[in-house]
Amino acid sequence: MDLKSNHSAPVLTDSAPLSKSRLGGIMKTGVLDDVRSSGWLDAMKSSSPPHKKFTKDLNHELSSPDPEVAYRTWLLKYPSALASFEQIANFAKGKRIALFLDYDGTLSPIVENPESAFMSDDMRSAVKKVAKYFPTAIISGRSRDKVYEFVGLTELYYAGSHGMDIMGPVRQSVSEDHPNCMKSTDKQGNEVNLFQPAREFLPMIDEVLSSLVKSTENIKGAQVENNKFCVSVHYRNVDEENWTAVWECVQDVIKKYPRLRMTHGRKVLEIRPMIDWDKGKALEFLLESLGFSNCDDVLPIYVGDDRTDEDAFKVLRERNCGYGILVSRSPKESNAYYSLRNPSEWEFPRTKFEMYSSFDLVLLEFKGKKRFLKDFFIYAVK
Ligand SMILES: O=P(O)(O)OC[C@H]1O[C@H](O[C@H]2O[C@H](CO)[C@@H](O)[C@H](O)[C@H]2O)[C@H](O)[C@@H](O)[C@@H]1O
């Protein structure tokens, strides 16, 4: 495991663009900090969803004032998984399918309170159905326990903390490559494999959690979430004028921990161990654990919506094995091959969130012994 312990300062990943607005930034801790914080402030503003660069050709159409035209143009590059079902099904012939799902924004809608990101019963039963036929795992930024609490299906494998806490199938030989891998039992008493590559960071993460809870307590709306091997600081419910204060709280804490880094998600700053591990690595680890490493007869499908899912999409693309499916209603650059449309948080008024319960994921079905793919990810966007 590559623990990069020699850094003398926290590394700012997902570097935010520095814009002209930085000139008007708050000059509290000097010019450099101002520039960095304003760059981050811009990124914080656009973080849900992140705005990414597009290729030149697409750019013209994507800047169309008609969002539908922009979306249709983008679909040329990231075709709908649903419309491409026949193509995917043909490719799946004779192959073993494994399904990997992100949680927030993929199985559950993005909502204001992270504690209320429940998945609908329809979605749960669709996932349950598919897991009957194909090994299915959830890979989330949440703590493993939390995501299990939300999903509540015993038949799945769960990876929490962006893949740094994996409960998966028992592996035959692992100990040399993965010293942090051990046999364990799940809640039902089944033998499983527990892999926690950042285990040694737990005391550090706990300290950071306590510090951040304390330092953000006076920022109205700020929420600090314990994700076991990561800490999330949510600013979705913080007045925009106080976002800099949130960013500074995070900076103040992590500057004391050179082995931690900060990343940026949907209206959330995340602090995590600086180890060479992400959702892509977790995906590879799970494939290996399932005995699915050989690309010739395996078709992994990964469905996700956020930038952390890009690591997994990239792994599939680089291995030329399986498909990444990006859940997005708005055009964005991705390593995924296909897309599925979901109602996006900024287009749909919050009061319409209950509509999500009717969004269904109707999945694959077997007939007899032969794999017969009946419906694939029907996403009923009303
Ligand atoms: O990897 P994921 O399963 O997608 O988890 C990523 C983060 O999701 C959660 O935060 C996001 O969803 C919340 C609920 O909709 C929303 O309120 C928040 O603004 C989003 O950032 C979760 O709370 C984080 O801990 C996860 O890291």
Interval between CA 287 and ligand 1 midpoint (Å): 24
Q: Which atom of ligand 1 is nearest to the CA of 103?
A: 3
- Residue 205 in this model has a pLDDT that exceeds 60: yes
* Closest Cα to atom 7 of ligand 1: 141
* Closest Cα to atom 21 of ligand 1: 266
232 lines ligand 1 (CB under 6 A): yes
Instruction: Pick from 58-67, 181-190, 298-307, 369-378 the range whose average pLDDT is largest.
Output: 298-307
114 lines ligand 1 (CB under 6 A): yes
Check residue 173 and give its pLDDT: 58
Cα 165 to Cα 77, 94, 180, 196, 284, distances in angstroms: 33, 32, 10, 5, 14
Quick one: which of 153, 150, 132 has its CA closest to 142?
A: 150
- Residue 373 in this model has a pLDDT that exceeds 80: no
Which tokens belong to 239?
Answer: 């007045």
Residues in the chain: 382
Percent of the chain with pLDDT over 70: 73
pTM of the model: 0.81
Average pLDDT, the chain: 78
Percent helix, strand and coil across the chain, each to the nearest 5: 35, 20, 45
CB atoms within 10 A of CB 4: 13
**Which pLDDT band holds residue 37 (cuts at 50, 70, 90)?**
low
Interval between CA 266 and ligand 1 midpoint (Å): 7
Choice from 268, 270, 346 to test ligand 1 binding pocket (greatest atom count within 8 A of CB): 268
49 lines ligand 1 (CB under 6 A): no
- As annotated, the active-site residues are 102
Evaluate whether 260 touches 204 at the Cβ level (below 8 Å): yes
What is the average per-residue pLDDT within 317-335?
Answer: 93
**Which pLDDT band holds residue 182 (cuts at 50, 70, 90)?**
confident
Q: Which residue has the higher pLDDT, 228 or 57?
A: 228
321 lines ligand 1 (CB under 6 A): no
Helix (H, G, I), strand (E, B) or coil at 369: coil
78 lines ligand 1 (CB under 6 A): no
Interval between CA 80 and ligand 1 midpoint (Å): 24
Check residue 315 and give its pLDDT: 97
**Which pLDDT band holds residue 357 (cuts at 50, 70, 90)?**
very low
Evaluate whether 1 touches 179 at the Cβ level (below 8 Å): yes
What is the average per-residue pLDDT within 352-380?
Answer: 34
- Residue 179 in this model has a pLDDT that exceeds 80: no
Which tokens belong to 56?
Answer: 């030149």
- What single-letter amino acid sits at 121? D
Choice from 104, 162, 311 to test ligand 1 binding pocket (greatest atom count within 8 A of CB): 104
- Residue 353 in this model has a pLDDT that exceeds 50: no
**Which pLDDT band holds residue 233 (cuts at 50, 70, 90)?**
very high
**Which pLDDT band holds residue 27 (cuts at 50, 70, 90)?**
very low
- Residue 198 in this model has a pLDDT that exceeds 70: yes
* Closest Cα to atom 26 of ligand 1: 141
Helix (H, G, I), strand (E, B) or coil at 269: strand
Measured distance CA(19)–CA(359) in Å, rounded: 38
Q: Which atom of ligand 1 is nearest to the CA of 162?
A: 1
**Which pLDDT band holds residue 232 (cuts at 50, 70, 90)?**
very high
Measured distance CA(230)–CA(262) in Å, rounded: 10
Q: Which atom of ligand 1 is nearest to the CA of 108?
A: 15
Q: What is the DSSP letter of 108?
A: B
H/E run at residue 32: helix 31-45
Interval between CA 185 and ligand 1 midpoint (Å): 27
Check residue 317 and give its pLDDT: 96
Choice from 236, 266, 279 to test ligand 1 binding pocket (greatest atom count within 8 A of CB): 266
Check residue 17 and give its pLDDT: 33
Check residue 141 and give its pLDDT: 97
235 lines ligand 1 (CB under 6 A): no
Describe the strand order of the beta sheet including 11-12 as a list of residue ranges: 11-12, 260-265, 268-273, 231-234, 223-226
Check residue 14 and give its pLDDT: 40
271 lines ligand 1 (CB under 6 A): no
Evaluate whether 130 touches 136 at the Cβ level (below 8 Å): yes
* Closest Cα to atom 8 of ligand 1: 104
Of 48-52, 103-107, 315-319, 321-325, the one with minimum mean pLDDT is: 48-52
104 lines ligand 1 (CB under 6 A): yes
Task: Write out pLDDT tens, residues 160-177.
Answer: 999 999 998 887 655 556
Task: Write out pLDDT tens, residues 108-158.
Answer: 889 999 999 998 888 888 888 888 888 999 999 999 999 999 999 999 999
* Closest Cα to atom 13 of ligand 1: 114
Check residue 125 and give its pLDDT: 85
The answer to whether the bond into 67 is cis (omega within 30° of 0) is no
Cα 139 to Cα 13, 279, 282, 283, distances in angstroms: 21, 7, 8, 8
Check residue 212 and give its pLDDT: 98
Measured distance CA(356)–CA(107) in Å, rounded: 10
268 lines ligand 1 (CB under 6 A): yes
- Residue 149, beta-bridge partner list: none
211 lines ligand 1 (CB under 6 A): no
- What single-letter amino acid sits at 129? K
